[in-house]
Homo-oligomer: A and B are copies of this chain.
Amino acid sequence: MARWQTGARDRLEQAALALFLEQGFSETTVPQIAERAGLTTRTFFRHFADKREVLFAGDDAVPALFHQLLTRTPAQVLPVPLILSQLGPFAESVFGAHRDILNVRTQIIRTDQGLTERKFQKMAAIKASVTQGFVERGSDPLSAMLAADLAMTVMETALTRWLAPDNTATLSAVVAEVLASLRQLVSVPELTPAP
């Protein structure tokens, strides 16, 4: 009976993802999800605004987490060194334990145009928060936006590679690989001003 001891929210999430995979996102209803979880639709709506939100659970916390990372890193650390040094541990702490669920979510989001659009919106919100964080650290708005874009690219590229079916490396290792590539890309001697 162990599975009944997990929280209602987790059970609803698992039931929803299973049904989305089995019969498709658009064919799945909230009553079906509640029934599969052994709960009522009323309980469902206490945890999620709609069935779509099950696929983005936790995402709304990411902008604030990223923003925290930027405010707690010493102000003298420049944007690119900050990305190179902090993004690995950050990714691991936020996403590292959720590979299976992220994998299923990504699969389902890909099947539906409305979900894909919603994902873009969530990512735009994260990018806006990261940009704001760099501004608060003293970057001008344009540099802040470019730095945020760089951070988002590294994160997105790392997550995509980590979730690839043939990948066996940890998220930390994948982020390290992407960051090494970024470091090499931007380490162009001719660009560096004389000390």
Contact = CB atoms under 8 A, between A and B. Distances in A.
A191 B117 contact: no
Interface residues of A, number: 37
A107 B116 CA distance: 21
A195 interface: yes
A97 to B, nearest CB: 25
Interface in A136-195: 140, 142-143, 145-147, 149-150, 153-154, 157, 177-178, 181-193, 195
B80 A185 contact: yes
Contact of A177 (B142, B178, B185): B142
B193 A187 contact: yes
A113 B185 CA distance: 35
Given A113-B117, A120-B120, A191 B146 contact: no
Interface of A: 78-81, 84, 113-114, 116-117, 120, 140, 142-143, 145-147, 149-150, 153-154, 157, 177-178, 181-193, 195
